[in-house]
């Protein structure tokens, strides 16, 4: 009798183990969510120009007056000096940022350029650290951006 009960118990136990293996309460059919990189943070800092947009590391963000309707007019030569602020995921609105103004625009190369209001945002290669505003007013076309989305035209 014991041998006969064992014959039924072993397949039953194996079946239960197989059904529960690897599930751990996961109802996604074994698929795990893909982790994405966090979005680039845009926040506000007070510098000599007043309150301006900066990235999460405090680097000044600029707008180009030749850009229109969130479309970049900065060509390859321009981008070498004024790298675009890009983000692997939707940008994160830090303190002082109006989320409704923070958006992304796709470029022809597939990169996602972060915009604020109607302005694509850029860095300036001449800025070496947080709070630098060496690009302010260059060529009368490059300006820091205020939290309301307007250009800061004050001289550095």
Residues near 97 by beta carbon (within 8 Å), at least 6 away in sequence: 42, 43, 44, 53, 116, 147
Share of the chain above pLDDT 90, in %: 63
Assign 9 to helix, strand or coil: helix
What are the extents of the domains in the chain? 41-152
Cα–Cα separations (whole angstroms), residue 21 to 9, 15, 25:
18, 10, 10
pLDDT tens, residue by residue, 59-105: 999 999 999 989 999 999 999 999 999 988 889 999 999 999 999 98
Q: With 90 as the cut, is the pLDDT of residue 107 above it?
A: no
Q: What is the pLDDT of residue 108?
A: 62
Q: Is the pTM of this model over 0.85?
A: no
Banded model confidence at residue 155, pLDDT cuts 50, 70, 90: confident
Rounded CA-CA distance 107/86 in Å is 10
pLDDT, mean over the chain: 82
Locate all alpha helices (DSSP H) within the chain, ordered by sequence.
2-20, 76-81
Q: With 60 as the cut, is the pLDDT of residue 3 above it?
A: no
pLDDT tens, residue by residue, 31-44: 443 344 578 999 99
């Amino acid at each position: 009798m014991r041998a006969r009960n064992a014959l039924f118990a072993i397949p039953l136990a194996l079946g239960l183990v197989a059904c529960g293996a690897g599930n751990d309460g996961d109802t996604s059919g074994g698929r795990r969510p893909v982790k994405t990189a966090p979005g680039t943070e845009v926040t506000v800092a007070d510098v000599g120009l007043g309150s301006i947009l900066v990235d999460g590391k405090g680097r000044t963000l600029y707008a180009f007056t030749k850009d229109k309707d969130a479309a970049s007019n900065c060509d390859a030569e321009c981008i070498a000096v004024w790298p675009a602020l890009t983000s692997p995921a939707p940008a994160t609105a830090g303190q002082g940022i109006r989320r409704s103004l923070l958006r992304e625009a796709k470029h022809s190369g597939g990169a996602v350029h972060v915009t604020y209001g109607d302005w694509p945002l850029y860095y300036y290669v001449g800025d070496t650290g947080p709070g630098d505003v060496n690009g302010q007013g260059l060529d009368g076309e490059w300006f820091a951006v205020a939290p309301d989305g307007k250009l800061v035209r004050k001289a550095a």
